[in-house]
Amino acid sequence: MQPAAAKWYDRRDSVFLEFCVEDSKDVKINFYKSKFDFCCVSGTDSIKQQNTVDLFGEIDPKGSKHRRTDRSVLCCLQKAVAGKSWPRLTKDKSKCNWLSVDFNNWKDWEDDSDEDLSSFDKFSEMMNTMGGNDIPDLDGAEEEHDTADSDNEKMPDLE
């Protein structure tokens, strides 16, 4: 038995944890107030994977759920106390080699309002879909461009 690799991220009401297991079978997840157990058989080699996580904060076991796909198992852990950020997933401060932060979904929401987050989402979407080197003027202010900008000069060859 080995632990399944996983990524996690924090939101106001929930913590999301995605176990990266392909072709999972016999998925068993038990949610408790301060921990949860994950177990499955994955891949063509039928590798048994198991994780037991003592959580940083408490969750609502009845409000927590999971969804299995061909490539992963996504768990939504509903926080017992909404609006309190979790600096880490586990109660223990030591690093788990099977666990990483899902930076694609991470948002630092603790100091932001919902309006700020929607602006952040729009900005992220724009940056992801934008091509080339042209950066749009986001605040409507115009800047004077200096033609003698040092960034436009040729770099000297390395010796």
Query: Which of 50, 74, 79, 84 shows the shortest CA–CA distance to 63?
Result: 79
- Residue 34 in any domain: the answer is yes
Look at residue 149 in the predicted model and tell me its pLDDT: 55
pLDDT tier, 154 (very low <50, low <70, confident <90, very high otherwise) = confident
Tracing tokens 């003027």 back to the chain, one arrives at 137
- Residue 16 in any domain: the answer is yes
* Inter-residue contact 126 to 52 (CB < 8 Å): no
Mean pLDDT of 29-41: 95
Task: Give me the domain span that covers residue 36.
Answer: 1-84
The CATH number of the domain holding residue 43 is: 2.60.40.790
Give the integer Cα–Cα distance in Å for 122 and 136: 13
Q: How many folded domains does the chain comprise?
A: 1
- Residue 106 in any domain: the answer is no
DSSP 82: T
The amino acid present at 86, given as its one-letter code, is W
- Residue 30 in any domain: the answer is yes
pLDDT above 50 for 100:
yes
- Residue 14 in any domain: the answer is yes
Looking at every residue in the chain, the average pLDDT score rounds to: 79
- Residue 43 in any domain: the answer is yes
Poorest-pLDDT segment among 22-26, 89-93, 138-142, 147-151: 138-142
- Residue 58 in any domain: the answer is yes
Look at residue 151 in the predicted model and tell me its pLDDT: 62
Mean pLDDT of 67-71: 90
Query: The pTM is what?
Result: 0.66
Look at residue 158 in the predicted model and tell me its pLDDT: 77
Give the integer Cα–Cα distance in Å for 13 and 79: 6
State how beta strands 14-19 and 73-78 pair.
antiparallel
- Residue 96 in any domain: the answer is no
Give the integer Cα–Cα distance in Å for 122 and 74: 25
